[in-house]
A and B are shown apart, each in its own frame.
Chain A
Amino acid sequence: MLWLTWRQHRVEMISALVLLAALAIPLVITGLALHAEYQSSGVAECVAGGGGGGCAALVDAFLERHTEWGNRFVWVSFLPALAGVFIGAPLFAREFETGTWCLAVTQGVTRTRWLTAKITLVGGGVVGVAGLCAVLFTWWRTPLDEIGGRMRTAAFVVAAPSLMAVTLFAFALGVLAGALLRRTIPAMVATLVTYVTVRITTEESLRPHYRTPLSRTTDPTTNAGTEQLPATDWTVNDGWVDSTGHHLTDAEKTDLLHTIYKGRSTPPDDLVDNYLATHGMRHYTEYHPDSSFWTFQTIEAALFLGTAVALFVGAAWLVRRRIT
């Protein structure tokens, strides 16, 4: 089965490695430059706690130059879709579509071995490539993450546990769609749509709630907003809280702003903060500290790995039901 699986999927494997190389070459070149600048410009020293005055400006300038590129790594969250669409979906769909499953399961290899060999060998290869990508992306981002923390989306999604688990999930999704629909193109479309939906839902609605966020309230006159918080925190929510501890909704906030600004064409800068202070209101920030990174990675990886296993079991059941 090892030879057959390799022969059937070597084009995909080679394409994946070519894609990886195509990403690696520019990333290694720019990454080396980024790391060198991080050290030579003194930003690394500032982040480590030394450096003294002028650090804020140095760090800001460094971020100014590189954050935009760094943030583009959020698109990596859609990279696993390739594994699902082009490798997972055809895994069984193509065998059913071309009738070659009849050829495969009437040789000396039992159906169970055929199924498990295909899923584990191809799945293993896919996860391996995802792991290499994760190492590459994480290495590139190291300077930015030391400044801004690893919890932000662009840093979080490229970390190895998350990226490998999500890639296996995307592959499993494709395998299941192929086993269910038994047609390659519809299975590919179904995989893509489901993957994107799940991924966006995870980013938007799930990950911020893996743990109850920490909360911090700050006095509006002495400490305005979130500016003074450690840069490595991942802020998931912020706003105003009144003296009873009630978090103001967006509508309430808008109403209040109307009241404060009523009739003034040129309001003074500290108008809002003064109003908040005199009415017993404060700023609050809900955030996840950088120290939660591994907990979050574990939760996300477990979530996607568990789902992937369930999808594999479902796909195996579907295939076995079709071919006894």
Chain B
Amino acid sequence: MSGEPILCCSGLGKRYGRRTWALRDCDLELPRGGIVGLVGANGAGKSTLLHLAIGLLRPTEGSVRMFGEPLRVDQADGLARIGFVAQDHPLYRRFTVADLLHFGRSTNRRFDLAGARDRLDGIGITLERRASTLSGGQQAQIALTLALAKRPRLLVLDEPVASLDPLARRDFLRTLVDAVAGSVAGDDLTVVLSSHVVAELERVCDHLVLLDEGRVRLAGAIDDLLAEHRVLVGPRADDLDTMDGVIAASHGQRHSNMLVRLPGPTSPHPRWESHPVGLEELVLAYLGEGRNRPCSG
């Protein structure tokens, strides 16, 4: 987990049409290895960022670098490093599972056919089935298997579990976690997946990136983020919103609740009662704060 960051975005922006910016001023560094969760409301720019990260979109401004080099998807070498599963995990519906594996093998220089067969066999998907006859969960598993069999260094998944039922979600994420754990050092796999269901990410992700209205609001290792933030409860005070480090505040009749980001290993004033924060709470606080910004600013 050292060396060049797997992905480095600087000043990245994408504009659709004349003035709609889907993403703007995005500076982001993702460390190698592990699973990165990308969260944000619908329309926050998650898909745009993911598509830019693997060269499916060309940035309007800024740049994307992988291992310190510009992303080259016009070359087979650049393509071999990335894996992608698009939203709703599209497959050629008239292909059988065996056809899809053949497709993967014939369009990639490196393709772990045996591993892919084993994985599908392990989850009970037979090769003769036609893709269109499989359940959504099975199709997602096939799309993931195809992407993993390329042995990419960066695997990008756009809302992979949004359309799956809870059981299929669990299976899908388990496959993913196993794949990351099974990747060997020096050839390690980094996964970036987007979701608007935070509870899922908490279980599988090591790293979190929070997008809001086309900008990165928060990024870091989940453990660090949780350690840095505290929920403080104390007597009601109405001037909290303007204080440094206060992310969100809510007021009862006598008490005020606020989420703060502590600058370091400092303790808050003793009149405040300090509690740890959950990931979901943290994400919602940042998203809510984003909404209110024009009023408070």
Interface residues of A (CB under 8 A from B): 1-4, 7-8, 11, 98-100, 102-112, 323-324
Contact = CB atoms under 8 A, between A and B. Distances in A.
Given A7-B95, A112-B74, A324-B73, A107 B56 contact: no
Given A4-B107, A7-B102, 6 more contacts: A7-B99, A102-B84, A103-B146, A104-B107, A107-B103, A108-B110
Interface centre among A7, A99, A102 (most CB of B within 10 A): A102
Nearest first, the 3 A-B pairs at minimum CB distance are A99-B90, A102-B86, A107-B107
Given A7-B99, A108-B150, A324-B56, A100 B91 contact: yes
B109 A100 contact: no
A103 B145 CA distance: 12
Interface stretch (B75-83, B217-225, B231-239, B269-277): B75-83
B106 interface: yes
Contacts of A110: 73-76, 79
- Interface residue tally on B, bucketed by range: 35 or more
A1 B107 CA distance: 6
A16 B88 CA distance: 33
Contacts, number: 75
Contacts of A104: 107
B161 to A, nearest CB: 17
Contact of A4 (B84, B106, B150): B106
Interface string B86-104: 1110111111000100111
A102 B84 CA distance: 8
A99 B86 CA distance: 8
Interface of B: 54-58, 73-76, 79-80, 82-84, 86-88, 90-95, 99, 102-104, 106-110, 143, 146-147, 150
A242 B95 CA distance: 71
Contacts of B57: 324
Contacts of A111: 73-74
B79 A100 contact: no
B127 to A, nearest CB: 15
A100 B92 CA distance: 6
Contacts of B147: 106
A95 to B, nearest CB: 9
B58 A109 contact: no
Given A102-B56, A108-B76, A324-B58, A4 B103 contact: yes
A21 to B, nearest CB: 23
A75 to B, nearest CB: 31
Contact of A108 (B54, B87, B109): B109
A38 B92 CA distance: 53
Interface centre among A7, A105, A108, A323 (most CB of B within 10 A): A108
B84 A106 contact: yes
21 contacts: A2-B106, A3-B102, A4-B103, A4-B106, A4-B107, A7-B95, A11-B94, A100-B90, A103-B91, A103-B92, A103-B143, A104-B107, A106-B54, A106-B82, A106-B83, A108-B150, A109-B107, A110-B74, A110-B79, A112-B74, A324-B56
